[in-house]
Chains A and B, each alone.
Chain A
């Protein structure tokens, strides 16, 4: 199951084999399963991490959507929630973590800092990386400083819709 085909071949294969093999059906079921069991990586950077914790707690309870299984090891996580400012010293570490995560994987940029540098971006800043887009692919952006827990849940639900629609986060690096 480890072989990942680039999308173009996948679609051509589907057309040729359509009378015999309904490849899309397997893909839809798998995407439905993937959408409903997103395991985020335990990984807080700064202030947004507190609101990410709040989402896992009793009041907002991310577990209702099956997404509150916070895995500490990147090998078992398939969603990276970037919660907090990405400093230049931390960016290569995040990139390594992102590469260690197995496909298909998705990422949520939570908070202004991960979208565009947020409150710490000013002409001549030297300390932060202005947004996660600079070095990795981001699927859902959640503005706010910090965004409320409801906003993070909305972002995760938006990501689940995206996955159900079959935008494979996996093979191609295309910007879903």
Chain B
């Protein structure tokens, strides 16, 4: 869908349409200033900041433990991954040991969180394309996962279960059985998704060849996560910079060569299967032992990591989430910067969208799986 020269030149035929902060398919408060000619998008300028809540300023006025609730409110769909990332970053900076059981439990919880985030995305993406029913089915599966995580962490969405040196609550004895039940239910869903959605002619027409991103464009914008893997680049922080207990488990990084909206859908579906495989291996090898390191500082105030700067990267459901943590030896971080994946993925919209129709614009934005408070921080 290349843009012919005359499309760009005469400005009097174009008009700007505000896909405003309140729009059914912007998933939160994002405003897209679309310059349109008829139905064709000439240029797009994402306007963000409508849910800026000053996480980074709050990090400087709170101790390491007080900042825990903020972490899962940045990207509330992979809140557990963000919470554990903050905990692991501080553990690395202050070199706090973590017991085996906690490491494996963290992988299990993080992968369940990833699946629940992808499930919600599948439903929301289909709703953007006009099919409302899949949203209720995938949401139902997500409720199964959320119910399971609730028994361990106590919350449905904004988790705060990580502690420096382990987790706040141990997995109860019944957890592995219930977790396997959820896995069985999810695995029964993949063929249904394939039959109902992938093979659906209208879905294929709406998504194939739409919003194509090449690897070079991804590099230009710093795109990471499923959007990058759909352009054929097998970059995943769990493989590139292994952390926690991930090196112990065998899993592959699904990629697709096309780089269009359909490829992003396929990558996320394949990723959910990979997460199930990781969880299975982790459940088989779940070691006994304490969930929290004895004598570790836990949530007490006296945690004073040594001075220094740390870049700690984690693979969230949307891409590479990096925490740049600077400590001057005090009880509060001197500076905490959060490199969120959707920040770069959304900026890449300015390359993907020109030339597509309004309906494609909605499909492309949906395929990026954007969560606004993560971008606005």
Q: Which residues of A contact B (CB under 8 A)?
A: 41-47, 49-51, 53-54, 57-59, 72, 74, 84-85, 87, 89-90, 93, 97, 119-120, 122, 124-128, 145-146, 148
Q: A residues within 8 A CB of B58?
A: 120, 122, 125
CA distance A59 to B333 in the complex (A): 42
Determine if A47 and B52 form an interchain contact, defined as CB atoms under 8 angstroms apart.
no
**Separation of A60 and B288 alpha carbons in the complex (Å):** 37
Contacts of A128 in B (CB 8 A): 53-54
B61 at the interface (CB under 8 A from A): yes
A90 to B320, alpha carbons, bound, how many Å?
Answer: 28
Q: Are B61 and A89 in contact (CB under 8 A)?
A: no
Closest 10 CB pairs of A and B: A127-B54, A47-B76, A57-B139, A90-B50, A72-B24, A120-B53, A58-B136, A42-B24, A46-B373, A93-B21
Contact yes or no, A87 B51, CB < 8 A? yes
Max chain A C-beta neighbours (<10 A), residue from B22, B23, B61, B158: B22
Residues of B within 8 A of A (CB): 20-24, 27-29, 49-54, 57-58, 61, 69-70, 73, 76-77, 120, 135-136, 139-140, 143, 156-158, 372-373, 376
- Besides A45-B51, A47-B158, A146-B158, 10 more A-B contacts (Cβ < 8 Å) are A44-B27, A47-B76, A50-B77, A50-B120, A87-B50, A89-B50, A89-B52, A119-B70, A127-B52, A128-B54
Give Cα A146–Cα B61 distance, bound, in whole angstroms.
23
Least distance between B311 CB and chain A CB atoms (Å)? 25
- Chain B residues lying within 8 Å of A74, measured Cβ to Cβ, are 22
- In angstroms, Cα B136 to Cα A44, docked, is 18
A59 to B372, CA, bound (A): 26
* A49–B140 touching, CB < 8 Å: no
> In the assembled complex, which residues on chain A have CB atoms less than 8 Å from the CB atom of B376?
87
Nearest to B28 among chain A residues (CB) is: A44
**Chain A: minimal CB distance from B114 (Å):** 16
Given contacts A46-B76, A46-B372, A54-B139, contact A90 B29 (CB under 8 A): yes
Given contacts A45-B29, A50-B77, contact A59 B21 (CB under 8 A): no
Inter-chain CA distance A41–B23, complex, in Å, is: 10
Q: In the complex the two chains form, is A85's CB within 8 Å of B157's CB? A: no
By the criterion CB–CB under 8 Å, are B22 and A43 in contact? yes
Chain B residues in 8 Å Cβ range of A122: 58, 61
User: Which B residue's beta carbon lies closest to that of A124?
Assistant: B61
**Cβ-defined contact, B158 with A90, below 8 A:** no
Given the interface pairs A51-B157, A89-B49, the reply to whether A59 lies near B140 with Cβ below 8 Å is: yes
Determine if B54 and A146 form an interchain contact, defined as CB atoms under 8 angstroms apart.
no
Nearest Cβ distance between residue B147 and chain A, in whole angstroms? 9
Residues of chain B within 8 A of A53, CB atoms compared: 139
Contact A47 B22 (CB under 8 A): no
* Contact B139 A90, beta carbon cutoff 8 Å: no
Q: Give A87 to B52 CA distance when docked, in angstroms.
A: 6
Chain A residues whose CB sits within 8 angstroms of the CB of B51 once the complex forms: 45-46, 84-85, 87, 90
Pairwise interchain contact B139-A58, C-beta atoms closer than 8 A:
yes
Complex CA–CA separation, A128 to B143 (angstroms): 30
Chain B residue, CB-CB nearest to A50: B157
**Chain A residue nearest to B373 in the complex (CB):** A46
Q: How far is A148 from B158 in the complex, measured between Cα atoms in Å?
A: 11
